[in-house]
Amino acid sequence: MKNICYSLLFASSILMACSGNATIDPLRFDSTKYTEQTLAMADGQTIHFRAYEGLQYVTNVEDSTYQTLNVYVPATADENTPIFLRTYVGGYMAAEARKPSAKDASGYALQQGYVLCIAGSRGSNSAVEVDGKKFFTGRAPAGILDLKAAVRYLRHNDKVMAGSAERIITDGTSAGGAMSSLLGSSGNSPLFEQPLKSMGAADESDAVFASVCFCPIVDLEHADMAYEWLYGCTNDGIRALSAEQRVVSQELAAAFPEYINSLNLKAKDGSAITADKYADYVKQYIVTSAQSALDSGVEIPANIGIRIQGGKVTDIDMPKYLSYVASTRALKTPPSFDSQGMLGNRPSPENMLFGNSEGSTVNFTVYCAQKNGGAVDEALQSRINMMNPMYHLSNTSDKAQHWYVRHGARDRDTAFSVPVNLATKLQNGGYDVNFALAWDRGHEGDYDLEELFEWIATVVK
Ligand code: DHB
């Protein structure tokens, strides 16, 4: 009798497991549910691929508009094909899972034969209505949680889906570049474990292989001081700040050297980049950028501060060059990021990002919080850390081995030092980093696609 009971129990549990397979694993990818689609590229080629769209990557969906991903599989892809994971996050706002575009890296990735995944994610503006009340779904760190859940979904289904989840290359621009850098720097970080579990993300690794970051708007809590340190030299010129603004600018800039020293950055030759050497270090990236432009036949105007002798960039008059940058697009006013409550400024996208589900906007730097009579408490600091790749690079996580970081040499959305620090910290960590300030580029991404995909081809070889 005892035995029969046991065998009955055993048999029924197998039955439950089998019959319930579809229901107990709602994150299982169904390879039969696709449509055949095409994309006409600018060069006249039409790409054919299978489209798997609207896939939910968590079981506890809070915002069905954004928490989905699309997968596009070209005919030639097999299980080893790298997966290009594009996010369209901008301004730290929500982004839907879009279709491939012939105009950016998504279409190009398909044309090159990569599996393409476009993941949606919640963001600072996403909201749902609960009991007649607006509930903001995407305040930090929701967006990066969603993208991590998407990575976990790809790994969870690696055996039943074309493409290799061990070869995911992330790509994004600006706040999306920040998201890409977070995916690359915070793989399996313990900070995200519990929230991902609560969301019903697959119990898998969320580490990625490579990250492509165009003009990443990162290190938010130090971005204001970096901006004033760099652009402060224009305050009496093209920027024309008020006396009050100038005080804020000077106070912020004054705090930057200490931050730089705390980073313990090292140059390629191993020497320390202390605050006293830092201005020169940043300048060298502009020199390299201008030189490569010169070498490729680009004409550099004589009046923008680039000193050239015999085809060589010998030096840069930084105030002059930065004034030129500011002439192409007006600079932000201080504080550039944590603007809320400061000198009558309105909340920035970043103030929204760190707000709560009721739609609040908050200061996230000690400087501005204190000026407004507040503080950055532990809970907020933890969310700020989650959103900063610089934090992850100094803490436990599985980092991407390969990095491609670009920031326009006249992009004034954040200071050049922000991507410079990210790239330097990565280099110092021993990762493979391809970094440049791209000459004559503003705040944009997915350019020089040929060069980018040549780089991708070498790292996935
Ligand atoms: C973006 C641009 C910004 O200047 C900023 O502060 C945050 C995000 C963006 O383009 O995504």
Q: What angle do CA 427, 432, 437 make, to 5 degrees?
A: 70
Contact 324, 358 (CB under 8 A): no
Q: Is residue 58 part of a domain?
A: yes
Nearest ligand 1 atom to the CA of 443 is 10
Q: Is residue 72 part of a domain?
A: yes
Q: Is residue 96 part of a domain?
A: yes
**What distance in Å separates the CA atoms of residue 266 and residue 273, rounded to the nearest whole number?**
5
At 123 the pLDDT is: 98
For residues 130-139, b (16+ Cβ closer than 10 Å) or e, as one string? eeeeeebbbb
**What distance in Å separates the CA atoms of residue 383 and residue 259, rounded to the nearest whole number?**
20
Contact 201, 119 (CB under 8 A): no
Q: Is 174 in the pocket of ligand 1 (CB under 6 A)?
A: yes
**What distance in Å separates the CA atoms of residue 83 and residue 309, rounded to the nearest whole number?**
45
Q: Is residue 22 part of a domain?
A: yes
The reply to whether omega before 100 is within 30° of 0 (cis) is no
CATH number, domain with residue 12? 3.40.50.1820
Q: Is residue 64 part of a domain?
A: yes
Domain hosting 187: range is: 2-218+446-460
β-pairing, 68-74 vs 115-119, is antiparallel
**What distance in Å separates the CA atoms of residue 145 and residue 67, rounded to the nearest whole number?**
10
Contact 451, 292 (CB under 8 A): no
Question: Within 13 Å and on the Cβ side, how many CA atoms surround 213?
Answer: 32
Say how many Å lie between the CA of residue 304 and the centre of ligand 1: 25
Strands, E assignment, 174-271 = 210-214
**What distance in Å separates the CA atoms of residue 248 and residue 139, rounded to the nearest whole number?**
27
The model's pLDDT over 293-308, given as tens digits with 9 standing for 90+, comes to 999 999 999 999 999 9
As for how many domains the chain has, the answer is 1
Nearest-CA neighbor of 33 among 62, 16, 56, 66?
56
At 275 the pLDDT is: 98
Say how many Å lie between the CA of residue 233 and the centre of ligand 1: 23
Q: Which parts of the chain register pLDDT below 50?
A: 1-20
At 8 the pLDDT is: 38
Pocket residue to mutate for ligand 1, from 125, 174, 179, most atoms within 8 A of Cβ: 174
Starting at the earlier edge strand, list the strands of the sheet with 46-56. Answer: 35-40, 46-56, 68-74, 115-119, 82-86, 164-173, 210-214, 402-408, 432-438
- Give the list of residues 6+ apart from residue 273 with CB closer than 8 angstroms, or none: 260, 265, 266, 267, 281, 424
* DSSP H or E run through 316: strand 312-316
Q: Mean pLDDT of all residues in the chain?
A: 95
Q: Is residue 394 part of a domain?
A: no
Say how many Å lie between the CA of residue 337 and the centre of ligand 1: 9
The reply to whether omega before 419 is within 30° of 0 (cis) is no
At 7 the pLDDT is: 38
Q: Is residue 125 part of a domain?
A: yes
At 344 the pLDDT is: 85
**Model-wide pTM > 0.85:** yes
Q: Is residue 213 part of a domain?
A: yes
The model's pLDDT over 202-244, given as tens digits with 9 standing for 90+, comes to 999 999 999 999 999 999 999 999 999 999 999 999 998 999 9
Compute how many other C-beta atoms are within 10 angstroms of the C-beta atom of residue 156: 22
Say how many Å lie between the CA of residue 315 and the centre of ligand 1: 30
